[in-house]
Structure 1
Amino acid sequence: MNKTKNTAIKTYTKKNNEKCYMFKVYCGIDPFTGKEQYTTRRGFKTKKEADLALARIKLEIDKGVFKKRQVETYADIYELWIIQYEKTVEESTFIKTIGIFRNHILPALGAYKIEKINVDICQRHVDEWASKLKKYRMVKAYASKVVNFAIKRGYIGTNPFALVEMAKKLIKVCIDDEDKPENFYTKEQLIEFLRCMEQESNFKAYVLFQLLSYSGMRKGEALALTWKDIDFTNNEIRINKAISRGKNNKLYVKTTKTGIARTIKMDSTTMGILKKWKKQQREDYLLLGFNTLQRNQLVFSNEQNEFLQPTKTRKWLEHVLIKYQLPKITTHGFRHTHCSLLFEANVGIKEVQDRLGHTDVQTTLNIYAHVSDKAKDEAINKLENFMSM
């Protein structure tokens, strides 16, 4: 039985304000990819023209003689490229990429005939992205990938994106006396935060933020931890996975951000708190009907003993920050805090890099160049002492 799809003729307006008609029609399953195929026709001056073209295509489809038109537009190339791209990246990355194309690239470039795209067209749209988006360079890079794919398939000879001039963003100097708040806590602020968190009735939240503060792991890594990853004998934690959001907004387990597992040493206080939570978790979840002694039991799970929603940590955090009037910080800020305190404790840059799971030491230096005021004071004190010798 042939699958039917509702097909409606729609109007759209060209850039010159000319009104035209278009339609998109279902034309079967691609025997090679197993995916649904559609063909789009646009540019009709009247609805009657569109009606006739649609009727003709439907008749060809019914007779089994319809052949989809050869790839013509940037959007056509994208549909081919995205199938291959999905095979090369994590599911969460694939979802983010689709969003970038849907929101920015396809609205700008989708309708262009692929052979008509030139450097002027690319420059105009890159400039538009630069005026609206912080990560416009990334958008341009993704747009360019599709054109490179078209080159490999012989649809176009060169990539005009390679000739685009990239705008330089001018750094605005802040003349306000107050500096932008840093997204990390000092030693004293962290101690006060954890003291306030401990006073709350949400012991699970307290344990999670204690762990983030003293391990420096990413939130997704913490939420993917199972009890078998925690070695209470040697005070070690194995970090080899993370949770992320994939298709249909579903959470799933993937590798760490860098794809490399690491084992970190932990302080006895945090390990003691984790041990206490393991016991309480068993009691709490028995009442909910779950046995948490299973080998793959999550350290932090929801009331259905499934993945905890990553947005939950922000709600827990905001509650405490507002209630106790504490300096604002994000959940990721506790990773910044851990790094800052490691530097303040004179831990070597290589050790910090390994503990945080950065593949490149420059990442550690670039992202965490902001150290605490105490460390900044010590830097000038060292210079002052040196010059007075």
Structure 2
Amino acid sequence: MKQVYSRSLSLHGFKLRQMIRRSTMPRRRQAGEGGINEYQTAKGTRYSILYYVPQEHGKPKRAQKRGFITRKDAARELRNINQKIENQTYTPPTKLTVEGYLEQWLNGLRLRPGTIANYRRTIRLHVTPYIGDVRLDQLTGTRLSAMYRELEAKGFRRGEKAGTQGLSARTVRYVHTIVSAAMKQAVSDGLLVVNPATKAKPPTATEARAPEMTAWTTEQAAAFLTWTRENRDTWQAWHVLLYTGMRRGELVGLRWSDVDLDGQTISVGRSVGVHIDGGRTVGIGPTKTGKPRVVNIDAGTVEVLREWRKARAGVGLALAHRDAYVFGALDGGHMDPDTLSARFVRHLGAAIDALGEDALPVVRVHDIRHTHATALLRAGQPVKVVSERLGHTDVMTTMRVYQHVLPGMQAAAADTFAALLGT
């Protein structure tokens, strides 16, 4: 009887020891959860973790992470990774840098060549020098905010002012827009969990607001045309710009085949642009919106163009051919848009010297387009008509750009309505 009792106590003690041992041992991981391995280095014992990353197609991919000093550290990281895998927030570690990813992103964009060229130039000048070597998965909103502040302080990178003058808030916000779009795609590609740009602090929309638009009055525009007609060659270019509202690249890309003098219309279907991507190039492509348009012209502009074509033919018959550029170079090619702008600056400077700054304020060549639109809107022309002449995407674009003109138009409309009711 004592033997049986003693055997029973021994068996009970064995089971108790087994239970204690199991309670102190780490939980056995289920299949697919990975494991922890121990290995020796010159600096002592280290631990690695093994885990399996689900793939969109096929079996989970085996992954390993080494260098943990303690088993506890390795176990903690393994649990963290498995939790992220379960929550579908895991992104595999990568050595891909911000510069490397941005290059891939640029190569995959489906935008106008000029837009992509501007993106490349902005990234090359204002992003890569600051965060290009940062690993993509280590980019943070704080790092981006620091870059924006540095750009605002000394981000100018051309000429004598390089590194001593800051970029405008508008330019820095443009940099942020590009970076944000790229990082959003990185999230879609599964390379990032969240977009770090959403945590950054770029200049606000108010700080980055575009400078106030400048436009001539109709009297000032007439004074400029009169002076250049009497004192400068190629004044016809300023006449056509002013009377059509075309962009400078559209004027430079205009061919005689686009001009219907009998029908009094100009077909605007192409534009010459300047691209800076490592080097400066000039190329011809579609209009800014990618959509052609037809602009009606008045009888006076028709006569200006008839006389201009005769003058071109007098220089060389090929310059008046259907395929020739209306304001092209003498070799038959299209003019460089910057050459047109430089010529305008010279002509305007001479006109101001002759007429005085009070009579003729300084404007850019693009402001001739604003002068055309502003004059029409103030004269009561429908916004839709003006929008079509300018080649805007929609009427809302015109209203947004020229909202400074619309309040006065609304006041006139209020007075007109009151007059109609006899009040």
* TM-score clears 0.5: yes
Q: Tell me the distance in 2 between the aligned counterparts of 1:375 and 1:193.
A: 26
Q: Deviation of residue 192 (structure 1)?
A: 1.1
Distance 1:153 1:319, change over 3 A: closer
Q: Which residue number corresponds to residue 75 of structure 1?
A: 99
Q: Tell me the distance in 2 between the aligned counterparts of 1:335 and 1:150.
A: 39
- Percent identity, aligned pairs only, is 24
Which residue of 224, 238, 244 maps to 2:273?
Answer: 244
Distance 1:377 1:361, change over 3 A: closer
Q: Which secondary structure state, in structure 2, belongs to the residue aligned with residue 190 of structure 1?
A: helix
Aligned-partner residue type, residue 105 of structure 1: V
Q: Which residue number corresponds to residue 119 of structure 1?
A: 141
Q: Tell me the distance in 2 between the aligned counterparts of 1:128 and 1:383.
A: 54
Gaps of at least 5 residues in structure 1 are 1-69, 173-179
Q: Deviation of residue 381 (structure 1)?
A: 7.2
Q: Deviation of residue 299 (structure 1)?
A: 0.3
Q: Deviation of residue 256 (structure 1)?
A: 0.6
8 Å CA contact retained: 1:321, 1:327: no
1:347-386 alignment to 2 at 5 Å?
347-371=381-405
Q: Deviation of residue 292 (structure 1)?
A: 2.6
Q: Deviation of residue 379 (structure 1)?
A: 7.5
The size of the alignment, in residue pairs, is 305
Q: Which residue number corresponds to residue 367 of structure 2?
A: 333
Q: Tell me the distance in 1 between the aligned counterparts of 2:103 and 2:227.
A: 52
Distance 1:91 1:296, change over 3 A: same
Q: Tell me the distance in 2 between the aligned counterparts of 1:162 and 1:226.
A: 46
Q: Deviation of residue 214 (structure 1)?
A: 0.7
Q: Which residue number corresponds to residue 342 of structure 1?
A: 376
Q: Which residue number corresponds to residue 98 of structure 1?
A: 120
The structure having more radius of gyration, on CA atoms, is: 2
Distance 1:71 1:80, change over 3 A: farther
Gaps of at least 5 residues in structure 2 are 1-93, 154-166
Cα RMSD of the aligned pairs, angstroms, is: 3.0
8 Å CA contact retained: 1:340, 1:370: no
Q: Tell me the distance in 2 between the aligned counterparts of 1:91 and 1:168.
A: 28
Q: Deviation of residue 376 (structure 1)?
A: 9.6
2:245 equivalent to 1:216: yes
Q: Tell me the distance in 1 between the aligned counterparts of 2:195 and 2:405.
A: 43
Q: Tell me the distance in 2 between the aligned counterparts of 1:312 and 1:227.
A: 20
Q: Which residue number corresponds to residue 313 of structure 1?
A: 340
Q: Tell me the distance in 1 between the aligned counterparts of 2:141 and 2:114.
A: 32
The superposition leaves residues 113-163 of structure 1 with CA deviations (integer Å, 9 ceiling, x where unpaired) of: 122122322333344446643232221121123333433443332222123
Aligned-partner residue type, residue 361 of structure 1: V
Q: Deviation of residue 230 (structure 1)?
A: 0.6
8 Å CA contact retained: 2:172, 2:203: no
Q: Deviation of residue 244 (structure 1)?
A: 0.7
Q: Which residue number corresponds to residue 283 of structure 1?
A: 314
Q: Tell me the distance in 2 between the aligned counterparts of 1:384 and 1:377.
A: 11
Q: TM-score, normalised by structure 2?
A: 0.65
Q: Tell me the distance in 2 between the aligned counterparts of 1:361 and 1:233.
A: 29
Q: Tell me the distance in 2 between the aligned counterparts of 1:319 and 1:192.
A: 16
Q: Deviation of residue 384 (structure 1)?
A: 9.9
Q: Deviation of residue 83 (structure 1)?
A: 2.1
Q: Which residue number corresponds to residue 303 of structure 1?
A: 330
